[in-house]
Amino acid sequence: MVAWGIMDSSINKILEVPVHERLPSKCIELISCEIPLPKEDQVQVKIYGAGINFNSIWQSICHPLTPRALVDGHIRRNPSEIQNKQNFYIFGSDGAGIITAIGKNVVGWKIGDEVVIHCNYVDPLRHSLDFDQMLSPSQSIWGYETNYGSFADYTCVNQGQLLKKPAHLSWPEAGSFMLTLATAYRMLISQNGAQIRPGEICLIWGASGGLGGFAIQLCNMIGAIPVGIVSSGPKKIYCESLGCKYVLNLEEIGTPLFVQENGEPNYLAWKKLKNYLTKIVGAEIDVVFEHIGRETIGLSVYLMRKGGRVVTCAASSGFMAQIDLRYLWMDLKRIIGSHFANFTEAAASNQLVNENKIKTTTESIINFEEVPTYLDRLYLRKNIFGKVGIRF
């Protein structure tokens, strides 16, 4: 079969290029390998739809960790996974398809079932499905920390990663919503996240992106008020079309950088944005939906009302950040760390799509050959709205 990923032998060559000069399309490669066979607790899935996520960018550019280091970490946490170790890494943490083979311990699923795969890998022998598996010492992200992901004709996944495909979705739609929707669900709705309440105001960074598009819809679903932040006029229009009540276009406001070159906060820019927000929204921010990191996390803490919560799952602009802690403790604010979702949260997200309470945001559907081009577009923030689905 063919797959997108990288060969282990290519990693050293990628590392010779300075990190800021690496481009996903110059690193990712087409791999030819055997079709994987399921272990006892696994199924083999023929992939019909998949989705592009930012984690394939991190893998491609080998930053902050190489795929080799990621998979080695997974094997340290799950020693029996050494059997799966390969000299290649197949990317892709979102996928949907049809079960084509089944391990002998699998119950409740059969060959021919249409499934959506969620990307939380935990050792099936160690945890039941009602435990918060994100806390498991065995926890890994499939297609990021494992050898086999969804950018391939076939993959193998644990039975605990399977959910029934919502019948009304096309394959690229079904294969592209789970990672970001379930992450946003845990961040905003679940008891493990900010647990946003009706009437609360939620500031959403990168509101037109994969996470952002679902964060807007989840706020509206719960009766909270989404306030999106974007970097261009078309992105603003897109967020409004998703039901975002207020959208701030940073290009329009002309806000300077929030962090100076030496990493220190730019307090003038912070004040300017806070004043602007107060004028537009007319109330203080209760919750901030964070994933930008270095450029915004300090500002996010500053912007909220007393007692507000920042919930964060990423650091696209850099993970070493400065926070002025005075705004945290004096104003009794909280920062909540969040990472993907456990089985219950993923299943709840699938159900929301199934019931049409949340719409998928697969705005672009691309062919398998176009994966490198679209990874670049996502990386360079070039006119990508919502999710990119891949048809096989």
Interaction site with ligand NDP (CB under 6 A):
53-55, 179-180, 183, 206, 208-212, 230-231, 235, 291-292, 313-314, 316-317, 339-340, 378, 381
Least distance (Å) from ligand NDP to the CB of residue 295?
6
Shortest Å, Cβ 354 to ligand NDP: 21
Widest CA span in the chain: 62
CB of 212 to ligand NDP, least distance (A): 6
Q: How far apart are CA 244 and CA 228, in angstroms?
A: 7
Residue 238, SS3? helix
Comparing CB distances to ligand NDP, the nearer of 149 and 206 is 206
DSSP sequence for 213-237: HHHHHHHHHHT-EEEEEESSHHHHH
Contacts of 220 by beta carbon, 8 Å cutoff, 6+ apart: 226, 243
CA 268 – CA 44 distance, rounded (Å) = 55
Return all residues near 364 (Cβ < 8 A) that are at least 6 apart: 374, 384, 385, 386, 387, 388, 389
**Lookup result for tokens 């083999």:** 44
In the complex, least distance from residue 270 CB atom to ligand NDP, rounded to whole angstroms: 16
The Cα 350–Cα 263 span in angstroms is 40
Question: Are the CB atoms for 67 and 90 separated by under 8 Å?
Answer: no
**47 vs 178, beta carbon nearer ligand NDP:** 178
User: By beta-carbon distance, which residue lies closest to ligand NDP?
Assistant: 209
Sign of the CA dihedral with 154 first, then 92, 189, and 382 last: negative
Quickly count: other Cβ atoms within 10 Å of residue 220's Cβ: 17
By C-beta, is 244 or 314 nearer to ligand NDP?
Answer: 314
In the complex, minimum distance from the CB of residue 189 to ligand NDP, in angstroms, rounded to a whole number: 15
Tell the smallest beta-carbon distance from residue 230 to ligand NDP (Å): 4
SS3 210: helix
Smaller CB separation from ligand NDP, 46 or 381: 381
Pair type for strands 154-158 and 42-51:
antiparallel
User: Could you give the 3-state DSSP secondary structure of residue 71?
Assistant: helix
| DSSP 8-class letter at 94 | -
* Shortest distance (Å) from residue 213 CB to ligand NDP: 8
In DSSP terms, which residues pair with 154 in a beta bridge?
46
Question: Considering beta carbons, is residue 44 or 93 the nearer one to ligand NDP?
Answer: 93
- Please, what is the minimum distance in Å from the beta carbon of residue 329 to ligand NDP? 26
Which of 60/208 has CB closer to ligand NDP? 208
Nearest CB to ligand NDP, comparing residues 288 and 378 = 378
Q: How far apart are CA 75 and CA 64, in angstroms?
A: 18
Q: Are 341 and 222 in contact (CB under 8 A)?
A: no
* Nearer Cβ to ligand NDP (44/53): 53
Cβ nearer to ligand NDP, comparing 43 with 239: 239
Measured from the CB of residue 142, what is the shortest distance to ligand NDP in angstroms?
12
- Tally of helices (H runs) and strands (E runs) in the chain: 14, 18
State which residue, 231 or 351, has the beta carbon closest to ligand NDP: 231
Q: Give the dihedral sign, CA 272/278/279/280.
A: positive
Min. distance of Cβ 177 from ligand NDP in angstroms? 11
